[in-house]
Amino acid sequence: MNSRVPFSEGDPIFSAISPYAASKLACEALGHVYHHVYGMDIVALRFFTVYGPRQRPDLAIHKFARLISTGQPIPVFGDGSAARDYTYVTDTVDGVIACTQKAVGYDIFNLGESQTVTLNRLVELLEKHLGKNAIIDRQPPQPGDVPITFADISKARKELGYRPRTRIEEGIPLFVEWFRRTARAG
């Protein structure tokens, strides 16, 4: 687990606290080995809570939008103060494309928004743009969950020209617009 924020690509991370985090670290290590042994260019990208149209329905923003829209309770783990670096999908795609434009050997880049939003604020934004109040079902914090994710994107800015443009205040209305369109079509 990394206790420093924002998270930098160079921070030492040796003790993952969830299977998900451990699998990501293992992939980065394997990529490094393939670069070292076979000379392959390998870029590991660390995405920070990507959201937007076509988001998986089991992820928080999509799940919450569906539950709020149908008047069902949303599960909120902890007190809602956990913060995430929500990154709009087009900004993430821009970072991915930027990585394909240069040979890097082996490298790691954070692709995030570089701002944090609490779970409580996320729910407020969804309520505002859906035009409905959420019914909150408070749950204990989940094991392996971290209190904050926050990307230091200075390396991606410098080396890739990465510049996220869509702040959560603009991204949530775009997501809700897509969500409503697909809900009507389905």
Exposed, middle or buried by CB within 10 Å (0-12, 13-18, 19+), for 139? exposed
Pairing of strands 50-51, 87-88: parallel
Q: Which of 3-12, 80-89, 98-107, 163-172 comes out lowest in average pLDDT? A: 3-12
Q: Which residues pair with 108 in a beta bridge?
A: 44
Residues 75-84: what's their mean pLDDT? 94
Q: Which residues pair with 2 in a beta bridge?
A: none
Q: What's the pLDDT score for residue 91?
A: 97
Residues 85-97: what's their mean pLDDT? 96
Q: What is the CATH number of domain 19-185?
A: 3.40.50.720
pLDDT, tens only, 135-146: 999 999 888 788
> Which of 88, 55, 84, 104 is CA-nearest to residue 151?
84
* Whole-number Å distance between alpha carbons of 12 and 110: 14
Give percent of the chain with pLDDT exceeding 70: 95
Question: Is 60 exceeded by the pLDDT of residue 115?
Answer: yes
Average pLDDT, the chain: 91
Question: Is 70 exceeded by the pLDDT of residue 73?
Answer: yes
The full set of domain ranges for the chain reads 19-185
Enzyme catalytic residues:
20
DSSP 63-83: HHHHHHHTT-EEEEETTS--E
